[in-house]
Amino acid sequence: MNDQKSPDPRTFEERLRAGRFVMTAEIVPPLSCDAQDLIGKAAPLRGLADAVNVTDGAGARAHMDALAAAAILGRAGVEPVLQIACRDKNRIALQGELMGAAALGIRNLLLLTGDDPKAGDQPETKAVFDLDAKALIDTARRLRQEGALPTGRKVAGHAAFFLGAADVPIDPPAGWRPAGLIAKAAAGAQFVQTQFCMDAAIARRYVGALADAGLTRKLAILIAVNPLRSAKSARWMRHHLYGTIIPDALVARMERAADPLREGVRICVELIEELAAIPGVAGVHIMAPGNDAAIPEVIKAARARVPNAAR
């Protein structure tokens, strides 16, 4: 993103537009009816992460509503990225949720298709999938730019959305064209958070292919990383989380580690430093299911090694 730089970038969007290397984190809202359980989970990231994603039925499992969680975090001083999945709602409900997010002052949206309910703990759940992610991004863009729904109905107020999409990095073969991401950018996406890519060389080739397609001028690309817990968990991620890239060398390094948790943090920080040097990489998205405590440590250490990431 090459917009005019802000003299004092304070928000996630402003930092990206100012050319800062950003670090976002992700938390799964708790299985709880108590707002303090959510606030306690996010508190270590306040003033540290540039923004914090709140998932929407991640893994096709119920948890505290993502829209409510994003509003709670915003009031607690944590800038949220609200994830909205198409899986559970038809277009009428999704349009209402977008208006509700705007009314609550939530700007950052990551718009997703959503996990298949068969992957969750209630596989008999009926999926909706009335829209896909591209159509939902286009709906949010129309609401922001035209003040209208896709039907043409006018909507009062203003939706100051910063629109995000997801992508799965690959080691691009010759002639590869990122058609899906091109379509999401055309629909209105402004930033991208990817699936895990723990291989800097593949990330370089992937982002290079995006640059060749003109996408790095339109989209801020954030590569997802993970402070690995163990070699066993790394193998599980590769097998169960579609699109995850973790090279054998990192798995072997975790296998040899006397303290795997510490080694996982070191690997993650080293990788962030490598990614920050790749043209077209605007930041990283740190996800650590079952290992949330490692995220603040990773961000603190990485900020010390990536000068352009300082807040």
CATH number of domain containing 273: 3.20.20.220
pLDDT at residue 221 in the model: 98
pLDDT at residue 1 in the model: 56
pLDDT at residue 5 in the model: 46
pLDDT (tens place) for every residue of the chain, 311 residues total: 544 444 568 999 999 999 999 999 999 999 999 999 999 999 999 999 999 999 999 888 999 999 999 999 999 999 999 999 999 999 999 999 999 999 999 999 999 999 888 888 999 999 999 999 999 999 999 999 999 999 999 999 999 999 999 999 999 999 999 999 999 999 999 999 999 999 999 999 999 999 999 999 999 999 999 999 999 999 999 999 999 999 999 999 999 999 999 999 999 999 999 999 999 999 999 999 889 999 999 999 999 999 888 77
Q: Which domain holds residue 231?
A: 12-309
**HEC-encoded secondary structure of the chain:** CCCCCCCCCCCHHHHHHCCCCEEEEEECCCCCCCHHHHHHHHHHHCCCCCEEEECCCHHHCCCCCHHHHHHHHHHCCCCEEEEEECCCCCHHHHHHHHHHHHHCCCCEEEEECCCCHHHCCCCCCCCCCCCCHHHHHHHHHHHHHCCECCCCCECCCCCCCEEEEEECCCCCCCCCCCHHHHHHHHHCCCEEEEEEECCHHHHHHHHHHHHHCCCCCCCEEEEEECCCCCHHHHHHHHHHCCCCECCHHHHHHHHHCCCHHHHHHHHHHHHHHHHHCCCCEEEEEECCCCCCCHHHHHHHHHHHHCHHHCC
pLDDT at residue 7 in the model: 54
pLDDT at residue 120 in the model: 86
Residue 7, domain member (yes or no): no
Number of domains into which the chain is organized: 1
Residue 6, domain member (yes or no): no
